[in-house]
Amino acid sequence: MELLRHDILIVGGGGAGLRAAIAIGEENPKLSVGVVSKVYPMRSHTVSAEGGAAAVIKPNDSIDDHAYDTISGSDWLADQNAVEVLVNEAPTELIQLEHWGCPWSREPNGTVAVRPFGGMKIERTWFAADKTGFHMLHALFQTALKYNNVTRYDEWFATKLLVDDHRCQGVVALELRTGQIRAIAGKGTILCTGGAGRVFPFTTNASVKTGDGMALAYRAGVPMKDMEFVQYHPTGLPGTGILITEASRGEGGILINKDGYRYLQDYDLGQPLDVHDSRHPQKRTMELGPRDRLSQAFVKEQEKGRTMEGPYGDYVHLDIRHMGEKKIDKKVPFVRELCRNYVGIDPVHELIPVRPVVHYMMGGVHTDVDGKTALPGLFAAGECACVSINGANRLGSNSLTELLVFGARAARSAVRFGAEAGDIADDKIIALAEQEQKRIRDQFFQPKTGKERAETIAALRVELTNVMDSGAGIYRNEESLKAACDKLRELKERFERVELDDHSLTFNTELTSVLELEYLLDVAEAITHSALARTESRGSHQRTDYPDRDDEKFLKHSLAYRTEGDPRIEHSEVVITRWPPGERVYGS
Amino acid sequence: MGASDMSQSDSNITLEVFRFRPDQEDEPTFQKYDVPFNEDWVVLDALNHVKDQIDGTLTYRWSCRMGVCGSCGMMVNGEPKLTCAAFLRDYYPNPIRVEPLNHFPVIRDLVINIDDFLDKLEKVKAWLVPKEERSVSDGEYLQTPAELAHYKQFSMCINCMLCYSACPVYGKQTEFIGPAAIALAHRYNLDSRDGAADERAEEIFSHEGIWECTFVGECTEVCPKNVDPAGAIQQAKVTATKEFYQSMLLPWGNKK
């Protein structure tokens, strides 16, 4: 097998991956960079982010306030050294994006505009109307085009990390167009593959969000951290799961139950102000509370029978009518477009049906503040990583900032590592890649011989996502989690009997689907077992059998290690610098 | 129609799908699939149903299913569409013919090769070339809302390729830079922070195709994001013509 070579390899061409590629181009244009992405970079899920990116820029704001909001938002599970890095480097990164052409919305005087966001005490969310991720991704992609040292492997699907001598030396990837499996060597490999929302049935996440990088690292012995923390966004469209941005609430939208009542006031989120009051919306209050608390309030409201019933599950209403057509078209035009296209309503005149929807993985590949993992030569950034700045609950608009700050840091860190690293063990990694090629051929291109019935991808995927929903949703308990763990064990066994219809080499998306399903199974077991071991409630992880936060035992990160059987769960200390754990107070 | 009005019928709708497997056959064929007709389904949902329940070999691209990633463009009954935004109910009870986007080489089934576009995007320098260098420590470039509005529409392109498949000029001469790449080049030309319009012009006008482009504007009509590439092309041509005459008639006034 031929060996393709780069100094640094990046897996994933979304926001984090492209930011990393550009950082290397800036750092040392002589270094060759390979970007391996299973979709064309501009198709990556960063494109769907809507509301904005947080960074302190205005004179009324302070770095410490951004840090405190993030840490209290995380229910004190974020590593405070990492949060300090985030908030300190955030303004530079967002200005850098501005210099690369990102069309940030502006104030009349030409400076960038900011908007309020959930859990943030001061308005500090930069935005490009309500297509912030789209504009950021395209600005990054188009900027990356000018770096000649960046080679893109568009529509190449990474199947395995090449690890020899306890060091990551590259990846094995399937070139979709030809069906060839290739080895690509790099002295540093950075995983930027995004999250894993597709492990659940109802999600805002694109079909590509299957936890690839998380599972690749996990299989190479790197732990996944804090996987039990799954963010439900409170406002998804029933049925499709399409996201209605938090910016709609940042701009004044309100949530009401079937009686037209602003129910959030019943859940320790403060008191509502009239929508025409000049102080509305109040920061860190009501509709601008954090996502975990709002999604939990929905479930409580549902239990009280105060939500509405629809064909795609219960829902409440998001009301933005009072914003008026002009402001809606200026500030949240995509919300209007999505509602018109996918629900057939016009939010200028009608209420938007919404329900909580799986949106983001706080957990991911365990890294330090430089994106380093426990495996030398392997780095991770963006949603696929857990640095951690998000802890038990991420604040909206911190993730776009995170992928820039830590994408760039991981790149610089990989460059430093690569400069010191020894040569690639060519023969050994080629042998590993050939083994991987054989594994894929034997497992998916040979007819199954056993008597047992063949399994299908779709059936296993449905069972997997359903059990995650019933077992590891907004509220969990020992019983539901154990049932999910059992089911996952069964599904992993049945996975061995999956048969494909498609045995051709050219653009075999059934093959990529089955490999994605295998990743999802790994990510799912890390989620359920980490959740089972955490016998407390914190942030987005709510155990009905352990309803209180337990700092004594669980002011700790969970680390899930892959074994031949169930994952091994360990715990590690949270880094506290200046903000001792306290009560999360909203609505003051 | 509200979400609560969803109606699920027992009836079916027929998809006639373009199939081409280059490792097995020399010529494309059409294959019929009957899928359940659901009021809320888009063509992409129907294709996913086929892939999951009927035929795992059917091959197409998709990702966000909310009209922003640009992956799922196909010909639907002869018109270029994002299949995540083309509802079955708009075609029912008639069959729906699904084909790969026109004017591109087919890799397999509904998957096209868009390398040509990506090369062109690079050629036209679709990135910001600052008029004045500014360091990050000096903060952002100032840009008023009016200056932003000047180019914003052209920055909304999702690279879905619908415009190329509608473009009669590109259909005949693929050397033509084409609607999306010109719109994106124009987007930077119009950006108050940018100073590379001249460099881009060389590339944009490198092929005579641009002069064959008429005001008919098929590209603009099919654009799902209202980018108006035809407008961008016409504006670019007017600028170029004006500059040509200025350099001819007023050689002392507008020398580059």
- Please, are residues A527 and A231 in contact by the beta-carbon 8 Å criterion? no
> Quick check: A504 and B159 CB within 8 A?
no
| Range(s) of chain B covered by CATH 3.10.20.30 | 3-112
- Judge whether A577 lies within some domain: no
- Please give the Cα distance from A264 to A576 (Å, whole number): 31
Name which of A213, A468, A247, A470 is nearest A363 in CA terms: A213
* Per-residue tens of pLDDT for chain A, all 588 residues: 999 999 999 999 999 999 999 999 998 999 999 999 999 999 999 999 999 999 999 999 999 999 999 999 999 999 999 999 999 999 999 999 999 999 999 999 999 999 999 999 999 999 999 999 999 999 999 999 999 999 999 999 999 999 999 999 999 999 999 999 999 999 999 999 999 999 999 999 999 999 999 999 999 999 999 999 999 999 999 999 999 999 999 999 999 999 999 999 999 999 999 999 999 999 999 999 999 999 999 999 999 999 999 999 999 999 999 999 999 999 999 999 999 999 999 999 999 999 999 999 999 999 999 999 999 999 999 999 999 999 999 999 999 999 999 999 999 999 999 999 999 999 999 999 999 999 999 999 987 766 677 999 999 999 999 999 999 999 999 999 999 999 999 999 999 999 999 999 999 999 999 999 999 999 999 999 999 999 999 999 999 999 999 999 999 999 999 999 999 999 999 999 999 999 999 996
- Please, are residues A231 and A391 in contact by the beta-carbon 8 Å criterion? no
Residues 6+ away with beta carbon under 8 Å from A355: A235, A236, A238, A298, A307, A313, A314, A315, A316
Check pLDDT > 70 for residue B244: no
- Please give the Cα distance from A59 to A520 (Å, whole number): 44
Residue A342: the pLDDT is 95
Name which of A138, A235, A342, A510 is nearest B84 in CA terms: A342
Respond yes or no: is residue A541 known to be catalytic: no
Helix A509-533 and helix A478-495, axial crossing angle in degrees, nearest 10: 150
- Please give the Cα distance from A562 to A230 (Å, whole number): 20
- Please, are residues B198 and B109 in contact by the beta-carbon 8 Å criterion? no
Helix (H) or strand (E) holding A426: helix A426-444
Residue A340: the pLDDT is 96
DSSP 8-class letter at B10: E
Helix A457-471 and helix A478-495, axial crossing angle in degrees, nearest 10: 170
- Please give the Cα distance from A154 to B144 (Å, whole number): 36
A541 or B4: which leads in pLDDT? A541
Report chain A residues whose CB lies below 8 A from the CB of B141. 98-99
Name which of B229, B121, B134 is nearest A138 in CA terms: B121
Report chain A residues whose CB lies below 8 A from the CB of B196. none
Residue B190: the pLDDT is 97
Residues 6+ away with beta carbon under 8 Å from B190: B150, B151, B154
Counting Cβ atoms within 10 Å, is residue A246 exposed (0-12), middle (13-18) or buried (19+)? buried
**Local confidence band at B216 (pLDDT 50, 70, 90 cut-offs):** confident
DSSP 8-class letter at B51: I
Check pLDDT > 80 for residue B51: yes
Report chain A residues whose CB lies below 8 A from the CB of B188. 101
- Please, are residues B13 and B87 in contact by the beta-carbon 8 Å criterion? no
Bridge-based pairing state of the strands B8-19 and B29-38: antiparallel
| Angstroms from B39 CA to nearest CA on chain A | 11
- Judge whether A376 lies within some domain: no
Residue A448: the pLDDT is 72
Dig out the tokens for B9 from the structure. Answer: 């019928």
Residue B255: the pLDDT is 41
Reported as a single tens digit per residue, the pLDDT across B164-199 is 999 999 999 999 999 999 999 999 999 999 999 999
Percent of chain B with pLDDT over 90: 80
- Please give the Cα distance from A66 to A59 (Å, whole number): 13
Bridge-based pairing state of the strands A378-380 and A180-191: parallel
Report chain B residues whose CB lies below 8 A from the CB of A243. 66
> Quick check: B65 and A207 CB within 8 A?
yes
Respond yes or no: is residue A317 known to be catalytic: no
What single string gives the DSSP state of each residue in A7-63?
Answer: EEEEE--SHHHHHHHHHHHHH-TTS-EEEEESS-GGGSGGGG--S-EE---STT--H
> Quick check: A504 and B134 CB within 8 A?
no
Residue B215: the pLDDT is 72
- Does A237 contact B at CB distance below 8 Å? yes
Q: Strand, coil or helix: what is A339?
A: helix
Alpha helical stretches, state H, A224-353:
247-250, 291-303, 324-331, 333-342
Check pLDDT > 50 for residue B3: no
> Quick check: A345 and B40 CB within 8 A?
no
Name which of A92, A557, A584, A96 is nearest A367 in CA terms: A557
Report chain B residues whose CB lies below 8 A from the CB of A350. 2
> Quick check: B127 and A315 CB within 8 A?
no
> Quick check: B140 and A48 CB within 8 A?
no
| pTM of the predicted structure, to 2 decimals | 0.96
Active-site residue among A249, A317, A366, A541?
Answer: A249
Residue A347 has phi, psi (to 5 degrees) of -65, -10
Residue B236: the pLDDT is 87
| Angstroms from A103 CA to nearest CA on chain B | 7
Reported as a single tens digit per residue, the pLDDT across A369-389 is 999 999 999 999 999 999 999
- Please give the Cα distance from A209 to A198 (Å, whole number): 6
Reported as a single tens digit per residue, the pLDDT across B94-112 is 999 999 999 999 999 999 9
ipTM exceeds 0.90, yes or no: yes
Residue B250: the pLDDT is 63
Which residue from B56, B122, B143 is facing A110, i.e. has the nearest CB? B143
- Please, are residues A200 and A468 in contact by the beta-carbon 8 Å criterion? yes
Q: How many domains does chain A have?
A: 1
Residue A18: the pLDDT is 98
| Range(s) of chain B covered by CATH 1.10.1060.10 | 115-249
- Judge whether A210 lies within some domain: no
| Angstroms from A79 CA to nearest CA on chain B | 27
A414 or B239: which leads in pLDDT? A414
For residue A30, CA distances in Å to A7, A76, A311, A412 come to: 9, 42, 57, 14
Q: Which residues of A393-429 are buried (b: 16+ CB within 10 A; e: fewer)?
A: bbbbbbbbbbbbbbbbbbbbbbbebbeebeebbeeeb
What region, left, alpha or beta, does residue A15 occupy, with left being phi > 0 and alpha being psi -120 to 50 degrees? alpha
- Please give the Cα distance from A452 to A230 (Å, whole number): 35
**Local confidence band at B211 (pLDDT 50, 70, 90 cut-offs):** confident
Q: What is the 3-state secondary structure (H, E, C) of A496-561?
A: CCECCCCCCCCCCHHHHHHHHHHHHHHHHHHHHHHHHHCCCCECCEEECCECCCCHHHHCEEEEEE
Interface of A with B in 491-510 (CB under 8 A): 500-502, 504-510
Superfamily name and number for B3-112: Beta-grasp domain (3.10.20.30)
> Quick check: A506 and B22 CB within 8 A?
yes
- Please, are residues A133 and B114 in contact by the beta-carbon 8 Å criterion? no
**Local confidence band at B253 (pLDDT 50, 70, 90 cut-offs):** very low
Dig out the tokens for A198 from the structure. Answer: 């597709």
> Quick check: A143 and B128 CB within 8 A?
yes
No. of H helices and E strands in chain A? 15, 21
Name which of B250, B117, B253 is nearest B184 in CA terms: B117
What single string gives the DSSP state of each residue in A107-175?
Answer: -TTSSBPEE--TT-SS--EE-STT-HHHHHHHHHHHHHTT-TTEEEEETEEEEEEEEETTEEEEEEEEE
- Judge whether A129 lies within some domain: no
| Angstroms from A574 CA to nearest CA on chain B | 33
For residue B28, CA distances in Å to A179, B107, B110 come to: 20, 11, 11
Residue B209: the pLDDT is 78
Beta partners for B87? B42
**Local confidence band at B239 (pLDDT 50, 70, 90 cut-offs):** confident
Name which of A121, A193, A200, A138 is nearest A161 in CA terms: A193
Residue of A nearest to B65 (CA): A206
- Judge whether A153 lies within some domain: no
- Does B68 contact A at CB distance below 8 Å? yes
- Judge whether A312 lies within some domain: yes
Interface of A with B in 342-371 (CB under 8 A): 342-345, 350, 353
Dig out the tokens for A544 from the structure. Answer: 């009905």
Residue B243: the pLDDT is 72
Check pLDDT > 80 for residue B1: no
Beta partners for B19? B29
Name which of A35, A36, A400, A458 is nearest A207 in CA terms: A458
Check pLDDT > 70 for residue B4: no
Query: How many other CB atoms sit within 10 Å of the CB of residue B49?
Result: 17
Residue B74 has phi, psi (to 5 degrees) of -150, 165
- Please give the Cα distance from A155 to A175 (Å, whole number): 7
- Tell the residue number behind the tokens 């600052």, with chain if given: B130
Reported as a single tens digit per residue, the pLDDT across A273-308 is 999 999 999 999 999 999 999 999 999 999 999 999
Residue B208: the pLDDT is 78
Which residue from B2, B4, B63 is facing A206, i.e. has the nearest CB? B63
- Please give the Cα distance from A334 to A51 (Å, whole number): 10
| Angstroms from A136 CA to nearest CA on chain B | 11
Q: Is the dihedral of CA B67, B70, B75, B79 positive or negative?
A: positive
- Please give the Cα distance from A84 to A63 (Å, whole number): 8
Residue B256: the pLDDT is 40
Which residue from A95, A110, A343 is facing B2, i.e. has the nearest CB? A343
For residue A303, what are the domain limits?
244-356
- Judge whether A40 lies within some domain: no
> Quick check: B3 and A239 CB within 8 A?
yes
Report chain A residues whose CB lies below 8 A from the CB of B158. 42, 47, 134
CATH class of B115-249: mainly alpha
Dig out the tokens for A76 from the structure. Answer: 């004190």
| Residue from B24, B57, B63 to probe the interface with A (highest A Cβ count within 10 Å) | B63
